């Protein structure tokens, strides 16, 4: 009896938290006419015309460009964060570096509203010509990703037995050599998790995309909002819905494949924070 009640509660919760996604998915399969005559949750005549329209490139709206921009910026943002965090995490765990100030300082960055830095970063980017570039956006997203990447990697390296380091030291390896040949291979799962987590976070970022890009480097989160104001005669809801589904799909797929690792690293991040 109670089990049935639990399943009912689960179904309600699952429906409620996923409601906007469900509605958008349903709408993306409705024809323009059906959206206006039947706004409900059931489709009368499913169609793929909205997705066909999305994939049609026009001067103002180019979904392929937005997707490519998001992909590039998110990959740069995740990659640089891990590249910078891995040696630092190693120095922190084994060298006892910055345990008192540097680590807490960086970890607390997650709690600082990043809008604070947005304006000077905008000015800096203007000076050095990084505005509206994928690399510029990627660099900023790396800042966003560094704290959690560092926490995940510190936790992972702390679990590697010191014997491995010492054996390599006796063989005459340098610390950098140990990092590359011993630590990095052993910590491959943690590195993958922080890469994927960083990629999802960066893909979903909006504020910096809005501020730092205008046309060439627009990410899909910002580009999607253009579909809402694109046509003269009001919003084409079916097309807009299809855009949102396409834009949301990459992180959702990654997230569903990796949800076990991701929930664990969320926990790690929360406990350390």
Partner 1 sequence: MQIAERTEWNLLATPLVAFLLLCLGFPAVVNLVYSVSDISFATLRSPTLSGFGNFAAVLSDGAFWRANWFSLRFGLLTAALECALGLFLAIFLAPLFKERSWPLAILMLPLMVAPALVGLMYRLVLHEFAGPVPHYLWQWFGNSPAFLGPNSAFWTLIVVETLQWTPFAFLLFHMAYHAIPDEVREAASIDGANAWQRLFRVELPLMLPTIAVALLIRFIDGFRVFDNVYVLTGSGAGGSTASLSIYIYEAFFKQGAIGKAVAASVLLFLASFAILYGLNMLARRKKK
Q: Which residues inside 119-148 make contact with partner 1, applying CB under 8 A?
A: 119-124, 126-127, 139-140, 142-143, 146
Nearer to partner 1, 114 or 182 (CB): 114
Residue number with CB closer to partner 1 (167 or 257): 257
Instruction: Report which of 105, 71, 65, 67 is spatially closest to residue 88, judged by C-alpha positions.
Output: 105
Angle between helices 134-158 and 115-128 (to 10 degrees): 130
CB of 170 to partner 1, least distance (A): 14
Taking CB under 8 A as the rule, does residue 10 contact partner 1? yes
C-alpha–C-alpha distance, residues 25 and 200, integer Å: 20
Residues 169-208 that bind partner 1 (CB under 8 A): 174-176, 179, 200, 203-207
User: What proportions of the chain, in percent to the nearest 5, are helix, strand and coil?
Assistant: 75, 0, 25
Q: How many residues bind partner 1 (CB under 8 A)?
A: 100
Residues 6+ apart with CB under 8 A from 183: 90, 157, 160, 164, 165
Distance CA 73, CA 141 (A): 7
Stretch that binds partner 1, among 15-23, 53-61, 156-164, 187-195 (CB under 8 A): 15-23
Binding mask 218-247 for partner 1 (x = CB under 8 A): ---xx-xx--x------x-x--xx--x--x
The helix or strand, by DSSP H or E, that contains position 226, with its residue range, turns out to be helix 220-226
Give dist(CA 32, CA 47) in Å, integer: 10
Least CB distance to partner 1 at residue 69 (A): 14
Under rule CB under 8 A, residue 79 binds partner 1:
no
Cα 268 from chain centre: 17
* Residues from 17 through 76 that contact partner 1 (CB under 8 A): 17-21, 23-24, 27, 35-36, 39-41
Binding to partner 1 (CB under 8 A): which residues in 244-263? 244, 247-248, 251-252, 254-256, 259-260, 262-263
**CA distance from start to end of the chain:** 40
| Contact (Cβ atoms closer than 8 angstroms) between residue 154 and residue 82 | no
Could you tell me the smallest distance in angstroms from the CB atom of residue 164 to partner 1? 17
Question: Least separation, in Å, of the C-beta of 110 and partner 1?
Answer: 8
Tell me how far, at minimum, the Cβ of 188 lies from partner 1, in Å.
19
> Least separation, in Å, of the C-beta of 57 and partner 1?
21
């Amino acid at each position: 009896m109670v089990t049935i009640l639990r399943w009912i509660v689960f179904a309600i919760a699952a429906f409620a938290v996923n409601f906007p996604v469900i509605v958008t998915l349903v709408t993306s399969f409705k024809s323009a006419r059906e959206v206006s005559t039947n706004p409900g949750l059931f489709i009368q005549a499913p169609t793929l015309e909205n997705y066909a329209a999305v994939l049609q490139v026009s001067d103002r709206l180019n979904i392929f460009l937005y997707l490519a921009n998001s992909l590039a910026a998110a990959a740069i943002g995740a990659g640089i964060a891990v590249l910078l965090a891995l040696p630092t995490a190693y120095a922190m765990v084994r060298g006892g570096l910055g345990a008192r100030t540097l680590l807490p300082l960086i970890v607390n960055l997650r709690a600082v509203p990043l809008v604070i830095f947005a304006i000077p970063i905008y000015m800096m980017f203007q000076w050095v010509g990084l505005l509206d570039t994928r690399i510029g956006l990627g660099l900023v997203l790396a800042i966003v990703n560094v704290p959690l990447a560092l926490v995940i990697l510190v936790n992972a390296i702390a679990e590697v037995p010191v014997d491995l380091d010492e054996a390599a030291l006796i063989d005459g390896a340098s610390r950098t050599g140990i990092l590359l040949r011993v630590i990095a291979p052993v910590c491959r799962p943690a590195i993958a998790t922080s890469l994927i987590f960083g990629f999802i976070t960066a893909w979903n970022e909006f504020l910096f995309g809005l501020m730092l890009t205008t046309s060439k480097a627009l990410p899909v989160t910002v580009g999607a909002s253009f579909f809402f104001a694109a046509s003269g005669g009001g919003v084409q809801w079916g097309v807009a819905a299809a855009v949102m589904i396409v834009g949301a799909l990459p992180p959702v797929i990654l997230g569903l494949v990796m949800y076990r690792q991701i929930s664990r690293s969320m926990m790690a991040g929360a406990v350390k924070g």
